[in-house]
């Protein structure tokens, strides 16, 4: 395991995320603890009705259970809310990669009129009007709340959300019994016949690239993905390859949440034309059916489930 990941995991443990009980930040807090408080505080939405955690729900890998989350006034978002674990060191964020840092990413939901809908200047003013927040920011940044240190605090919390305590991790570390026989077979399929590793590589199972997997046809599937950020016509239908850690708890899947289960995702990759036959410029690696048997698809699902950290309960699946 990389030293970077170990450091962030230890930081996360020190932060002692209090998902259920709320917050009890001691003086002086850390930047990550302050970011945690902000992450769960509806103060940062226009009508004080939602927080970052309203869409990035902790027990679901900090993803949402809806295809499209509800912003203020119950306005649906335009894309599925991705999980935000294991994002430290990533080079780009959002499905279209429009943000280059976690700080840039933290800004967008706050100011998006369909999400939290709060101008950043107003968010900063609210924090300055709050005696506790003024004190925390002064202690940590030697400054009153600003747009810069607000985003730095939230990003600091998000960097603690590194996970590496899954059955897969224990298996790789030498525990031969950590994976079921089905998951072991699924791992071989993942890197072999199913070719998942072509896109989902590295310790977090993302190559940090953009791929067109055929979920854009310009008619029924109209989200052009990366093109919306770059305006480069060659990027139509390209989306960021998400990491697969904790994937068992982050349903529904894809940028539009069109697949409700991992079984549906695997069925799509097994034979894309059966589900979307007219995807524009679909990656050539998906040009032929995988011809996975029912048993092989079950094994592949077992491996994907084994990528989920122990902190997330799987009882609801």
CATH 1.10.760.10 location in the chain: 3-158, 167-305
Task: Give the model's pLDDT for residue 141.
Answer: 97
Task: Give the model's pLDDT for residue 25.
Answer: 52
Given a cut of 90, is residue 242 above it in pLDDT? yes
Q: What pTM was estimated for this model as a whole?
A: 0.90
Task: Render the burial of 225-254: b for 16+ CB within 10 Å, e for the rest.
Answer: bbbbbbeeeebbbbbbbbbbbbbbbbbbbb
Confidence of residue 22 (pLDDT cuts 50, 70, 90): very low
Tokens of 241: 């390859």
Given a cut of 80, is residue 317 above it in pLDDT? no
Task: Give the model's pLDDT for residue 57.
Answer: 97
Strands (E) across the chain are located at 210-211, 239-240
Fold of 167-305: Cytochrome Bc1 Complex; Chain D, domain 2 (1.10.760)
Given a cut of 70, is residue 56 above it in pLDDT? yes
Fold of 3-158: Cytochrome Bc1 Complex; Chain D, domain 2 (1.10.760)
How wide is the angle at C-alpha 158 spanned by C-alphas 155 and 159, nearest 5°? Answer: 90
Confidence of residue 7 (pLDDT cuts 50, 70, 90): very low
Task: Give the model's pLDDT for residue 55.
Answer: 97
Confidence of residue 27 (pLDDT cuts 50, 70, 90): low
Confidence of residue 29 (pLDDT cuts 50, 70, 90): confident
How far, in Å, CA of 306 to CA of 297, rounded? Answer: 14
Indicate the annotated binding residues for heme c.
52, 55-56, 196, 199-200
Task: Give the model's pLDDT for residue 40.
Answer: 97
DSSP letters spanning 64-98: -SSSS-B-GGGPBPSSPPPP-SS-TT-S-BSTT--
Task: Please enumerate in sequence order all residues whose Cβ is within 8 A of that of 151, keeping only pairs 6 or more positions apart, or say none.
Answer: 103, 104, 106, 107
| 291-309 confidence digits (pLDDT tens) | 999 999 999 999 999 999 9
Indicate the annotated binding residues.
52, 55-56, 196, 199-200
């Amino acid at each position: 395991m990389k030293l970077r990941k170990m450091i962030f995991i230890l930081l996360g443990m020190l932060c002692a995320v209090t998902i259920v009980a709320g917050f009890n930040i001691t003086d002086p807090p850390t930047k990550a603890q302050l970011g945690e408080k902000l992450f769960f505080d509806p103060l940062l939405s226009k009508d004080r009705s939602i927080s970052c955690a309203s869409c990035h729900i902790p027990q679901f890998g900090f993803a949402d259970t809806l295809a499209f989350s509800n912003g203020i006034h119950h306005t649906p978002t335009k894309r599925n809310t991705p999980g935000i674990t294991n994002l430290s060191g990533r080079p780009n964020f959002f499905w279209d990669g429009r943000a280059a840092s976690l700080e840039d990413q933290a800004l967008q939901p706050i100011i998006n009129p369909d999400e939290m809908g709060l101008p950043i200047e107003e968010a900063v003013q609210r924090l300055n009007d709050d005696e506790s927040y003024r004190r925390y920011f002064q202690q940590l940044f030697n400054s009153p709340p600003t747009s810069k240190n607000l985003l730095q605090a939230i990003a600091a919390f998000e960097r603690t959300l590194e996970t590496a305590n899954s059955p897969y991790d224990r298996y790789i570390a030498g525990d031969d019994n950590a994976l079921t026989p089905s998951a072991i077979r699924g791992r071989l399929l993942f890197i072999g016949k199913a070719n998942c590793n072509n896109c989902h590589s590295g310790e977090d199972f993302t190559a940090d690239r953009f791929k067109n997997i055929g979920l854009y046809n310009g008619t029924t599937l109209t989200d052009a993905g990366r093109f919306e950020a770059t305006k480069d016509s060659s990027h139509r239908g390209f989306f960021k390859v998400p990491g697969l850690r904790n994937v068992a708890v982050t349903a529904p899947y894809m940028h539009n949440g069109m697949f409700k289960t991992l079984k549906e995702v695997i069925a799509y990759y097994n034979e894309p034309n059966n589900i979307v036959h007219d995807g524009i410029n679909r990656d050539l690696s998906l040009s032929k059916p995988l011809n996975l048997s029912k048993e092989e698809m079950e094994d592949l699902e077992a491996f994907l489930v084994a990528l989920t950290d122990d902190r997330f309960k799987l009882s609801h699946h």
